Structures are given as C-alpha cells and as structure tokens.
A and B are shown apart, each in its own frame.
Chain A
Amino acid sequence: MTVLHDPIQPPEGRIEVKNTTCYMCACRCGIRVTLRDNEVRYIQGNPEHPLNKGVICAKGASGIMKQYSPARLTKPLKRKEGAERGAAEFEEISWDEAFQIMEDRLRHLRETDPKKFAMFTGRDQMQALTGMFAKQYGTPNYAAHGGFCSVNLAAGMIYTIGGSFWEFGGPDLERSKLFVMIGTAEDHHSNPMKIELSKFKRNGGRFISINPVRTGYSAIADEWIAIKPGTDGALILALIHELIKTGLYDRDFLVQYSNSAELVSTDEASDDAGLFVRTDIPQDTECFEAQDKVWWDRTSDKPMHAREESVDPYLLGEFTMPDGRQVKPAFQLLKERVEEYTPEWAAEVTGIPADRIKTLAHEMGITARDEQIELPIAWTDAWGKDHDTVTGNPVSFHAMRGLAAHSNGFQSIRALSILMSLLGTIDRPGGFRHKAPFPRPIPPCAKTPKGPEGVKPNTPLDGMPLGWPAEPDDLFVDDKGEPVRIDKAFSWEFPLSAHGMMQNAITNAVNKDPYDIDTLLIFMANMAWNSTMNTSEVRKMLNDKNEDGTFKIPFLIVCDAFQSEMSAYADLLLPDTTYLERHDVISILDRPISEFEGPVDSVRIPVVPPKGECKPFQEVLIELGSRLKLPAFTKEDGTRKYRDYPDFIVNYETAPGSGIGFLSGWRGKGGEKFMKGEPNPNQWEMYEKNNCVFHHHLPKSYQYMRNWNRGYLKWSQEHSLQRYAEPINIHIYSEVLMKFRRAAQGKSDGKQPPEHLRGRVETHFDPLPFYAEPLEVQLTDKQKYPLAALTQRPMAMYHSWDSQNAWLRQIHAHNYMHIHPATAKAQGIEDGGWMWAESMHGKVRCLARYSEAVEPGTVWTWNAMGKAKGAWNLDGDANESQKGFLLNHLISEELPKNECGEHISNSDPVTGQAGWFDVRVRVYKAEDDEPKESYPQFDEMPQLPGTDERRKKQGFFAGMFTKGSK
C-alpha cells in the first residue's frame, strides 16, 4: 500500500530545546521546552529533574495555550478618568508613566505613613522577594495567599513537630506500608504525589482516603472513608483515644523525642499552672527550647532531669513534686483529654461507624508496631547517643485544605500531628519526613515587630512582616491590644496568623477597621472573584466611595498576566509575563522544592521573549525599590544597586557578606560552594547547565530523625539554615498555646487580650487538641441550612488560572454542584437540572450532578471554574459564566455577630486560616420558568486594550501559529 502522508517525517523548522521550571500550578516541576522557529512546540517533564522525574500533568502540557492566550495583558493600563472600578475602561500608558505614578505615590506614603501602602500577593512563588520588599519599604501590611489557603496545616504541624506537609515535608511512600490521606485537594503536591502514590500501590501498600468526596487521588484508594466536613478533628481524637486505650503507640519514641513524659504543673494554685516543671529557672533561649524539663523516673519513683541516660520515665500517672505541686506527664493529660472522645462519640459526629474508627486505629497501630523498618544507618542524637540503625514505623499521612480550611482546623491538625507522633513516624523511614530548611524550632525564630513602634516613616520594618509568635509578647499589637496590621494578623483575634490574612484586607480597608489605607497593590490574586469570600459584596467594596466621592481604597494597583476579574478594578494595571518569559527563583528562603534527601532549589530561565510590553513583577519590584531608594536596593552612594532581577538574584546577600542569597547552588566566585558563599556572577548559567535545579544530597546519616540528629543539626547550623543546633522535641502538649491561654486567664504578665476576646483566646489556645464545631457552623441554624458545601480542585485546572486556556477549558468548561441523589431527590432536583444553593449569606443558581461519591450531607463543586461574564477574555456566552458558578458567593469573610463582637473574620481563631469549608447551605430546585443560567450574573467585562482578538477557530501548529496561518 502506498502511503502518501508520511506519518514519521517531522515538519520543517528550526528546533531548540530549553530547560526551565513549570508554573502551571505551584508544584514547580522541571520542564523541557521544545521550540520550533521560536514558537513553543512541546513542553515535557524534564527527566533529570528530582521533583517530577520526567512526568508532567495536564496543566503543564497545556502551557502552550497559556502562552498564546488572548486573555494576556500586554500593556500597562490606567483606569480612564471618571470610569467606575469594575467597568474595565482603560487607557494605555507607558511603563515610564506607570512607574512615575507608583513612585510618587509610594514615596509620599513611605515618608508619611508606610502602613498606608498594603501589598498582598496570591499564589506567587516569590514571597521571599515580596516580603523583603515590604519590609524594606517599611509596611507591615504584606501577606501572600497562605492565610486563605492552608496556614492551619503549616501552623498546626510546625507548632507541633517543627515541619509540615508539601514543601516542608511529606509522607515517605517509598517505604510506607499504610498511607492515610485526609482532606487533600488533588492539586496539592501534584506530580510528586501522583508518582509516589502509584509506586506505593504497586509495592503493595494500603491506601486509605478520608474525605467527604471521592475524586482524584481518593479514587485509587484501597478504601474510601466518607467523613462529614469539619469533623476530622473528632475522628483523629477518637483514633488517639483508641491507640492509647489499646497501647498501640510507640512509647520509646514518645519518651525520648516528644514532651510526652515531661511533667506539667497541674496545680491550679501554683504560679506555673499549665506550664512544664523545670529544673532550673527558665533561661531565655530566644527561639530554641531549653533542655530543662523533668521526668518522673520509674526506677527511683522520683522526679529527675529529663533525658538523662539512666532515667526511665512514666508516661501516665499523677505525681506530687517534693515542693508539693501536683504534676502529671503531658501524656497523662492527653489521655485524660481524649477520654471522652470515644469512637462511639466520634461516630455520631463524623458519620463513620465506630467499629471502622476502631479498626482504623488498629490498622495504624499494628502496622506501625509490627512492620517496623530498620535501616543500617548509624547516627548520633542530639544528646550524644550513638545509634547503629534508623528505625521507622511505616504509617504515613498526608493532609491539606480539607483539614485546614475550617475554623477548627488548627486543633484538628495539632491532633493529626500528635497522632503521627504517637505512631512514632516523625522523620523516620516510612512515616513523615522533613524537607530542608525544615525542621525548625517550635515555633520558628522569625518574628514580626511587637508593636506600632516597629513601623516608622522612611525606615524598614523592625522585624518581618510575617512571623511565628512564641508567646503573647510576640504579638503585633498596640498598647490596647489592638492590631497594627490592616488584616489584623498577629493580633488577639488571630494570634498565630503566620501567613497573614489577605482574605480580610479589602473588607478591613473599606471599613477602616482598624484604619484606612491609601494604596493597595494586588499581585496575581483574583480578589474580585475566586480568591475572596463574599465575592459580590467585595466587588462592590472595591468600588466603594466616601461621601466626598473619593474611593474608600484610594488607589488600587493590580499586576496580573491575564484579564482576570480583578484586573477590571485596577486603577493601574501592570501586565506580568508568563512563566516561560521570565527569570524566577524557587528559593530556600521561600518555599523550595527540597527532597527528603536534602535541600533543592531551582530557577526559571526565559525560553521565549515577553509578549508585548509584559514585564515580570520581579522587575517591577526591583525598579520600584531602586527608585524609592530602599536600603537593600541602593548603594551607599545612593545610586541603584541592581541592574535588574537576574542581577539582584546573583548579588543580593541577606546581610553584607553573609554569603546567603536567594539561590543556594553554585555560590562562591567559581560556583564551588553551596548554601553559603559569596556571589557567583555565573550562577544563572550554572543553573541553566544543570537542568535549572540545585540538589544537595545529605549524607544518609543526616537524612532521618533530623529534629534530634546532631549531625544534621550541626550541618544546618554550619550552612546557616538555622541559628541553633538544638533538638526540636515534639509538642504533644503545647506550652506555647498555654502561654496565650494563661494571658487570657490573666495569669501571666505582659500583653493581655482585650476583654471581649479573653474567652475566645482561652478556649481556643488549649495546649491539647480538642474538638468543637467550626465557628460558622456553631452560628448557623442547621435546621434551615443542613448541608455542608465544599469545593474540590480538579487536577486539570489550577484555581482560576486556566479558563483562558483553550485546551484545559475543553476539559472543564463549567462546573456542577455534585449532590447525592437522595439529597437531591428530596428537593425535587433533577440530575443535570438547575438548582439553588443558599447559605445565610447568599445564594447561587447552578447545575446539579448526581453523585454516589459524596457524603449525603455534603454538596461540592470544582473550584473557581465559574467566571464573570467576559473575564479572562472569554465570549459573553461562554460556559464559564453562563453555566459555571462560584461557591464563594455563599461564603462570608466575616462571622455573624457573636459574643466576640462584629466584624470578626470567618477564620480559625488561632491562625486566621479562612474557613472556606464551614459554610452550611440548603438546596432546592430552580423553577422551570427561571432563566437557564447560573446566578449571580454580572455585566459583561469588555475586552481590555492590548489583548488579542478571540479566535473563533484555531489550529495550533508551532512555527506557523503567530505568522497568521491559523
């Protein structure tokens, strides 16, 4: 048979292959980009990259359509005089003009009141730079997206075990035998999780998923345990109850490596009630924990200095100190705490049968105990004891926003961390393992200023904009205990809000609570749509005016690569580049891509030139920093220090001569050093030659037990990863939390909560985990609003980013409300029919989809698929706006008025984590005569100047596409 069309002959064209790092989500896989005649022909996973080992996901493989999307902004734009915000009426201006506007405005604010400038960024990956810019500028009002993402997960774990999931640690599925995944969105730790899950299953591991919904990763679980949203804490506490009751915990691990055996003063009468008994007068250890605790020795039946070689302590019991104080080991307190949390009790709360809870505990405990791993790796612990082997109990966990995005999430995650510790799985083979720069002290050393005096005109901030309070005095409040930050982070309302609280920035600024601001800069966060709660109202707030006709937020700068909903509200709109067009660093100073085996950082190097006048946001910051003469960007003679971002990355040092910069690889003049070393002018080239990634493999003996591994701790100190080489013991009992509680109880000197918050702080700063319904749920009429409503993240879309992507939007063009058939039928809702979901804050009309894979008391939808009409440069009748919907309309950013007051954020009272998943709804059928479109609808957003025309048809063929063929 003659073949006319040769299926093998490659098309003509000049082929180039370049390495860089993906940014279609926050996973940061290494990619290899093939170009044909300067157009992107193929994006594949880089097989030599440690993170993704050659694989790529649906988003990564669709990067081409991001690059050539007609939604791309290409010119700096200024809101037309007199136009409303949101109307998206803009005029083109030059970058010079844009910089001049920003320079004038920001200089004035810096000279007068720097906190009037607020800068909030979304799912960017340059928090080390943006945070540093804010600090240099001198504003406390900076945060990234963590507060509305997963700060509970970070804080709950870091305040317990000194590390957390995803960037900073994760399950060692290579050696695990039982893996339990709780409330994980399927995009979090995307490709590495998929790679590992597959290997784990093929190695015969048992995978259990606990989630109200069975999608994505849960689909391939050996068992799916459906749980009612927000009740994870109850389940975990019942598991702890059962493990303690049956003795299925790793006693030796708890004794040596946690504070389980340490004696807590339980004498309400004594000054130190609730604090650990100490051998000496407490020393000021800045941010490590002194080894001055006391155990009750079993042999001598006496209190002894903890962790002395010969001491063998009790974990349970009640003792009287020689001075008469009543004391108990922390573990005894935990046992007492979980006494009431029986599996039978938890069954009622979670919807999981009591027997299943018990067997789940038994599965964990027995696997941990009987499948113990022993690796022939010798190591020395922090107390100088040599060990011939590293042992591990092969039970591992992963959790994400399902656990975190509840206002009771912090304590649930504390409970999870304790469960993991009880099983003896912290930084051990087959369990949880840290990734550099973690573990860190509990809590880590970084601190914010401690009061308004830390914010001064023309002066860098006296502290970090974000930090980790260790005691009430670390709070960022004024004399009256009122917040200094616009988002009220690190105040008594949310003392441990380590990632800030971006979700409240706009509402607070408009309410002038605690004060008003002048300029708000939003980078890459869709605050007029899916990144905010209460979307409809927040859109109005962005346009809110004072009585004199001026805007309540006087100036709004937005930087984005795409015509997002937020871009319509900008006064000044700056076109960012795509990831394929810019330099970037994924820095150890931020959230690196470290592996269990050692630190890893990586870079992006442009593979194509920027489209139009697009400019990377990093360059905007460097330029602004230079124009404003911020110290870090200015030489002593007052001239500009850095030419541009690549120059900044190479030459910036955290302090003069510190040898620490954004990149840890190929430091030193010739690139011979790592982690620490003088700037290397050829650092970018060296990254480029090495797959854009630097990976340092620690010696095997430094790869485990790092909280207590003398070798590792010393290594990390020598390489300036941390200040101290002291052991980091697990906080089963959190004295840090107790200090806040004692302040609330009026038992400590120093900062005190305002009266109306005393009860709140006392309740929630419980040194041991407890279960209570999420705050919003407590304040909801559950008879009226009986169902929980959630979002899940599909694997083929990242947040709102990909509706402008011609390939990905064919997979997900609109979203449904997934609902159990029985729940739906009870309301007459048909499969595929229109329905309403209504909370006490708002309502949406949406399409229903029956599902047997959802807990019947829950409805859910894919996140952020619904779009405002015309946004992302889609046609007005596009599915996203006509059939798609946004659940955010149902969720309020503030709690209903309650005993703690009005305008309290709908967030975890410990960490300020946004309570996305706490909303309760009722559902009902949409009437037949209603419009067949989602509700609410908004006026169509016009196409912005500088964006390409929307193609009606396209045939992408690299090398010919932009030349006008198709």
Chain B
Amino acid sequence: MHPAFSVIFLTTLIGVGQGLFLALFTGQSYAAVELVPSQDSATFYGLGGIIAFVFLVGGLIASVFHLGRPERAWRSATQWRTSWLSREVIALPIVMGLIFVYSIMHYFGLDTVLYTSKAGTTLQLSLIVGALGMLFTFVLFICTGMIYAAIKFLQEWACALTPINYILLGTASGFTLAAAFASSNAPDLLGLYGNWAIIITAFAFITRGGSLIRNSRIKAKSTIQSAIGIRHPQIQQKAMGMQGGSVNTRDFFHHKTATFFKIIKWSFMILVFPVPIILLWSGMESGSTSTLLGAFIIQYVGLIAERWFFFAQANHPQNLYYQTT
C-alpha cells in the first residue's frame, strides 16, 4: 500500500495520546489502592490528560487530510454495524470526550469522592470516568487495528497481531512519554512508568517482530493466475491499460526501492525498541527528563517509520493487475 502521511500521523498520534492516558489512569489507579503515592491532580493528571488530549486532537487533524470531503465526516459514524472505520469514528470522540472530562475534572479540581471504604480508600468520580476512558481507549485501539486486520486479502494485516501491535505500540509510546512527563511533574511515578514502558516496549518488540516474521512467510493467496483466471506458470503483464498512471498505481504501492524499504524496516526496529529501552533505563537511573523525552521522541520517530513500513509492506492483490509500475 501507499503509506499516506495523514494516516501515519493519525494512528501514531492517537496511539501516543491513548497510551499516555492509559499511563495516567494506571498511575491514578495504583495510587487509589495506595501502591504508589498520590500526585497532584492538576499538574499531573490534569495536565497529563490535556497532553494526551492534544495528541488525540493532532491525530484527528491529521485524519482530516486523509478525507476528500471532510465536511461530510459526520456521516461516517452511521455504519458502525459493519464498518470498523465507522466504529473508530465513534470511539475516537468518545475517548477524546472522556479524556477531556477526566483532565478537566483533575485540572479544575472538580473531582468528587463517591465512596469511601472503611479502610479509608476512596472511589473518586475521576476513576469512574478514567475507567470508562480506559475501556474506550482499548475499544479505539481495537477499532484502529481492526480497520486493517479486517481486510482479509491484505494478508500482512489480516491477523490478530495487527490490533495487538496497535495496542502495544501505542501504549508503549504513551508510557514512554508518561515517564518523561513524570520525571518532571511526578518523580515518584518515574519508576512505575519507566518500567512499564520498558516492559510494554519489550512486548511490542516481540509482537511486532512476530508480525515481521509472520509476514515474511506469507504465501500470497492471490496470484496472477487467479487474478486473470489463466492457468500457466508464465504470465507477464505488458500493458496496464494506461501509461500515465492511475489511482491503482498511486494508492497501492510505495514506489520506493527495496533498499529504502529495508532501511526503514531496520530503522524502526532500532528506533522503536532498543534505543528507547536503553534511554528509558538510563533516564530512570539519572532522572533526566531530557533523556526520557529523547526516548519518547526517538520512539515516536521510529513509530512513524514503523507505520510507513506497516502500510508499505501490505501487498494489495490489486497490484497483480498493475505490475508494469
């Protein structure tokens, strides 16, 4: 497929936002059961939530560039029964709304205690909102992943690893950002986020690596023989029916060299996984916000490459009909 930058930014930015929110909510939940110290509502959960929200807004803006007719985007919420894209379109504002509410509650101190246990632990309204947010964040991750995984003939995508990778890569980048954020605004939580970021990044390495291995072994179900219905081992396309190109030659192929393609693969395998892990570890040791921010930025850049590769690697069967590109 042709990697469209709008979609690359959409998926990576909302991934960060979703992951950061999950990290915040994890922190607050841990604090609620007193596994970690509580943090300042406004400067950490509130501000953090707003940062997550901003990433989601960024993703939303990127998505607009993907649409031909964005003014009609509201229509895209109508087909949730059948379309994962429609479901994403519904889930995304819900997630954004919940994160926004969550952030506002924290930022402006609008949280209230709903219930206090005999032991003194409290159930705050923000936790309920956060839990809903978490639920929908996962729903959103799944929707995003399933948009790709649901196209069965895009064999590189049609696999459980696709949504899993979306969840893990988004969460990893969010936790890495959370670690950097915590190092300045909530140093108590640096260990929690840093460790989880390393763990999730490591898991993501396994699942993303797994999908690379899987994809390298895919035997394409469609062949030129099945595409045109002629049984012969040697079939060569000589003319595509147009010489100046068409949507078919532009939208479904990356038009880059095999070397470039490989460079991107190795770049993201390095930038998304080992480098951030090392920087996270080092940042946790030193408590350096800039190191941790560096970890996030490098990981995010790596994710852009990863997402480019994700699209570029998917070999659309329609390309069988457009081989003289």
* A contacts B directly (C-beta below 8 A): yes
Q: Which residues of A contact B (CB under 8 A)?
A: 810-814, 832, 849-853, 879
Query: Are B238 and A813 in contact, with the CB atoms below 8 A?
Result: no
In contact, A810 and B244 (Cβ under 8 angstroms): yes
Which residues in B have their C-beta under 8 angstroms from that of A879? 243-244
Q: List 19 A-B contacts (CB under 8 A).
A: A810-B242, A810-B243, A810-B244, A811-B241, A811-B242, A811-B243, A812-B243, A813-B243, A813-B244, A814-B243, A832-B324, A849-B238, A850-B236, A851-B238, A852-B234, A852-B236, A853-B238, A879-B243, A879-B244
- Residue numbers in A under 8 Å from B244 (CB-CB): 810, 813, 879
Taking the closest CB of chain A, its distance from the CB of B141, in whole angstroms, is: 30
Q: How far is the CB of B230 from chain A (nearest CB, A)?
A: 13
Closest 6 CB pairs of A and B: A813-B243, A813-B244, A810-B242, A810-B244, A814-B243, A811-B242
Residues of chain A with a CB closer than 8 A to B238's CB: 849, 851, 853
Contact digits for B213-248, partner A, Cβ 8 Å, 1 yes 0 no: 000000000000000000000101010011110000
Nearest A residue to B242, CB-CB: A810
Distance between Cα atoms of A813 and B245 in the complex (Å): 10
Starting from the known contacts A811-B242, A852-B236, 4 additional A-B residue pairs (CB-CB under 8 Å) come to A811-B241, A812-B243, A850-B236, A852-B234
Q: How far is the CB of B218 from chain A (nearest CB, A)?
A: 26
Residue of B nearest to A832 (CB): B324
Contact with A along B279-308 (1 / 0, CB 8 A): 000000000000000000000000000000
1/0 per position for B239-277, CB-CB distance to A under 8 A? 001111000000000000000000000000000000000
**Residues of chain B with a CB closer than 8 A to A812's CB:** 243
Interface centre among B236, B241, B243 (most CB of A within 10 A): B243
Residues in chain A near residue B234, CB distance under 8 A: 852
**Distance (whole angstroms) from the CB of A804 to the closest CB of chain B:** 15
Instruction: Give the secondary structure class of B's interface.
Output: loop
- Interface majority SS (helix, strand, loop, mixed), chain A: loop
A832 to B324, CA, bound (A): 9
CB distance from B83 to the nearest CB of A (A): 14
Residue numbers in A under 8 Å from B324 (CB-CB)? 832
How far is B238's CA from A850's CA once the two chains are assembled, in angstroms? 8
Residue of B nearest to A821 (CB): B236
- List, in ascending order, chain B residues with CB within 8 A of A849's CB: 238
Complex CA–CA separation, A953 to B238 (angstroms): 28
Between A and B, how many residue pairs show CB distances below 8 Å?
Answer: 19
Q: Which of A811, A814, A832 has the most CB of B within 10 A?
A: A811
CA distance A852 to B236 in the complex (A): 9
Q: Which residue of B lies closest to A818 (CB)?
A: B238
The interface bits of chain B over 103-130 (1 if a CB of A lies within 8 angstroms of the residue's CB, else 0) are: 0000000000000000000000000000
Set of chain B residues within 8 Å of A850, measured between Cβ atoms: 236
Q: Which residue of B lies closest to A812 (CB)?
A: B243
Complex Cα spacing A392 to B324, Å: 48
Contacts of A853 in B (CB 8 A): 238
Chain A residue with the shortest CB-CB distance to B241 = A811
A121 to B241, CA, bound (A): 33
Residues of A within 8 A of B242 (CB): 810-811
In the complex, which residue of chain B has the Cβ closest to the Cβ of A815?
B243
Q: Which residues of B contact A813 (CB under 8 A)?
A: 243-244
Write the chain B residue with the least CB distance to A851: B238
B123 to chain A, nearest CB (A): 45
Complex: A852 Cα to B232 Cα, angstroms = 14
Q: A810–B239 Cα gap in the complex (Å)?
A: 12
Most buried by B among A810, A832, A849, A850: A810
Report Cα–Cα, A427/B244, bound state, in Å: 47
In whole angstroms, how far apart are the Cα atoms of A481 and B258 in the complex?
Answer: 70
A810: B residues at CB distance < 8 A: 242-244
Docked Cα-Cα span, A852 to B237, in Å, equals 11
Q: What separation, in Å, do the CA atoms of A604 and B297 have in the docked complex? A: 71
Q: In the complex, which residue of chain A has the Cβ closest to the Cβ of B243?
A: A813
A878 and chain B: residue at smallest CB distance: B244
Cα separation A811 to B234 with both chains bound (whole Å) = 25
| Cα–Cα distance between A879 and B241 once the two chains are bound (Å) | 15
In the assembly, what is the distance between CA of A812 and CA of B243, in Å? 6
B71 to chain A, nearest CB (A): 14
Query: Cα distance A173–B145 when bound, in Å?
Result: 59
In angstroms, Cα B242 to Cα A437, docked, is 42
Tell me, in angstroms, the Cα distance from A814 to B239 when the chains sit together.
12
In the complex the two chains form, what is the Cα distance from A810 to B244 in whole Å?
6
What's the minimum C-beta distance from A62 to chain B, rounded to whole angstroms? 14
CB distance from B81 to the nearest CB of A (A): 12
- Please report the C-alpha to C-alpha distance between residue A849 and residue B238 in the assembled complex, in whole angstroms: 8
Bound Cα distance A851, B239 (Å): 11
A811 neighbours in B (Cβ, 8 Å): 241-243
Assembly CA distance A849 to B240 (angstroms): 13
Could you tell me the distance between the alpha carbons of A852 and B234 in the complex, rounded to whole angstroms?
Answer: 10
Nearest-CB distance from A796 to chain B (Å)? 10
**Complex: A667 Cα to B324 Cα, angstroms:** 57
Q: Which residues of B contact A832 (CB under 8 A)?
A: 324
With A and B bound together, what is the CA distance between A813 and B234 in angstroms?
27
Nearest chain B residue, comparing its CB with the CB of A811: B242
Chain B residues lying within 8 Å of A852, measured Cβ to Cβ, are 234, 236
Q: Which residues of A contact B241 (CB under 8 A)?
A: 811
- Give the Cβ gap from B258 to chain A, nearest Cβ, in Å: 16
Within 8 A of A (CB), among B126-175: none
Cα–Cα distance between A879 and B238 once the two chains are bound (Å): 18
Closest CB in chain A relative to B153 CB, distance in Å:
26
Closest beta carbon of chain A to B115's beta carbon, Å: 47
Name the distance in Å between A902's Cβ and chain B's nearest Cβ: 42
Alpha-carbon separation in the docked complex, A810 to B242 (Å): 5
Q: A96 → chain B, closest Cβ, in Å?
A: 43
Question: Which B residue's beta carbon lies closest to that of A865?
Answer: B243
For the complex, what is the distance from the CA of A880 to the CA of B234, rounded to whole Å? 31
Q: Determine the distance from Cα of A850 to Cα of B241 in the docked complex, in whole angstroms.
A: 17
Cα A814 to Cα B244 with chains together (Å)? 9
What's the nearest-Cβ distance from chain B to residue A752, in Å?
A: 54
CB distance from A576 to the nearest CB of B (A): 28
- Min distance, Cβ B323 to any Cβ of chain A, angstroms: 11
Question: How close is B170's CB to chain A, nearest CB, in angstroms?
Answer: 34
What is the minimal beta-carbon distance from A387 to any residue of chain B, in angstroms?
A: 49
Distance in angstroms from A813 CB to nearest chain B CB is 4
Nearest residue (CB) in A for B246 is A810
Q: From residue B61, how far is it (CB to closest CB) to chain A in Å?
A: 27
